[in-house]
Chains A and B, each alone.
Chain A
Amino acid sequence: MANVLPVEEADQLALEHQGWAESIARSVARAWNMDWRLDGLDGAAMEALLFCARRFDPSRGIPFRGYARKRIHEASTDAARKSRGWRRGAQNPTSEEQRARELSSELFNVFPELRSGELPLVEEGSDGGEVRGAIRQLLVGASIIAAKQSSIEQPDTLLDYKRLVELMATLEPVHQILMWRVYWEGESMRTVASEWGIDELNVIREHKVLLSYLMKGIQSGKPAPTPKIRPGLRTTSVKIKKDKLLGNFSELVGQHVSGQQSGGAQAAKGRGL
């Protein structure tokens, strides 16, 4: 049973961290060029702070800020997305700034550590150092999200990402399905892991390996040796192969080829390839 604080103490804890929570809301507003008060980020941050304080269990040994930061950040971004300022921007979907906001908000789902002010971890010895390696991961991740957004909004524009999609189609089916579910369907890595009955770390680490593979392929212009399936994902992979499932990106590429062969460009248009 959780050893939560008595209400008075929890409220006091929230009061002590009010300035900190507001600072999180201000950071989100600054990045998205919004007004943290007018757009309601302040209220959302305070609400999340109070929620966390009342559920905080000091006996677990996790510092309060470590426990609450992601949740307060998430509440702030959610409030921003519902705000009038965001909706105004959404009325002009061609606006580069609004598209970048949309893309960055999806980036938080793939790299939740950004909400805590941390860069994604990369393998030691990464070319150019760990910070640059992390930045490259973010750029590749953002490009995949941009490709997905294109395929939904204007299927024709997915052609711009043809080489990226073809590169993803070279992956093992289990890897393609992982990337599809995280990027195209917006599922969290935790959800994917729990559905596959494996530890979340397996999915997180495999995702990093896949991004690194894509990055190499993008930079060299040709596919590198495809990543091996880590032991934690092998059972899932065997099941997928037994069901003769192709990867989602292979299907996209296949549709494109069959569309070209039959002269039916229209057939491929639906998925943009």
Chain B
Amino acid sequence: MTNNGDKKIGGVSGTKQLKEVHKTESIGDVKGVEATTGVSGVGQAGSVNKRRATHLMTPGEREALMKMISEEADKLFTEGALPASKKALVTSAVKMAVDAGILPPEDEK
């Protein structure tokens, strides 16, 4: 049934021409999934640049430090790269330099 008020459609306007559909290209061969090669190994992580507290020397560890200086000097001067005749001199100098920086505990606060 038609309604007398209806108007006749004159035409469809405003559509645009479809663009050309490009031709599809042929699909290359599908290869089978290859086996992974073995991981050669995990390298050691580089040292992290951490901020560390410095070692403050205290009178309490003075004797231990002096002993350690002598012990390390004994090791260092045995190989011959450093003259054994200078061991006492170098050891005394390091002990003096370390000792001159140690303050009594009440002054370290």
Which A residues have a C-beta under 8 Å from some C-beta of B? Answer: 19-20, 23-24, 27-28, 30-32, 73, 77, 96-97, 99-101, 103-104, 107-108, 111, 113-119, 121, 123-124, 130-132, 134-136, 138-140, 142-143, 145-146, 160-161, 163-164, 167, 215, 217-221
Contact = CB atoms under 8 A, between A and B. Distances in A.
Given A20-B107, A96-B88, A97-B92, A123 B47 contact: yes
Interface stretch (B10-18, B29-37, B69-77): B69-77
Contact of A142 (B54, B75, B90, B99): B90
Chain B binding surface SS class: helix
A220 B78 CA distance: 10
B108 interface: yes
B103 A24 contact: yes
Nearest to B98: A114
Given A111-B97, A118-B57, 9 more contacts: A30-B100, A96-B88, A115-B101, A118-B55, A121-B55, A135-B68, A138-B69, A139-B94, A142-B94
B76 A117 contact: no
Nearest to B86: A146
Contacts of A118: 54-57, 101
B104 A23 contact: yes
A243 B73 CA distance: 39
Contact of A100 (B55, B65, B93): B93
B76 A221 contact: no
Chain A binding surface SS class: helix
B48 to A, nearest CB: 9
B62 to A, nearest CB: 11
Contact of B93 (A117, A130, A142): A142
A31 B79 contact: no
A218 B86 contact: no
B97 A27 contact: no
17 contacts: A96-B92, A100-B89, A103-B93, A107-B94, A108-B97, A117-B56, A119-B54, A119-B98, A123-B47, A132-B68, A135-B65, A135-B72, A138-B98, A146-B93, A160-B85, A167-B81, A221-B79
B76 A146 contact: no
A121 B54 contact: yes
B61 to A, nearest CB: 8
B41 to A, nearest CB: 21
B71 to A, nearest CB: 8
Nearest to B88: A96
Contact of A146 (B72, B90, B97, B100): B90
B76 A218 contact: yes
A260 B75 CA distance: 32
B63 to A, nearest CB: 13
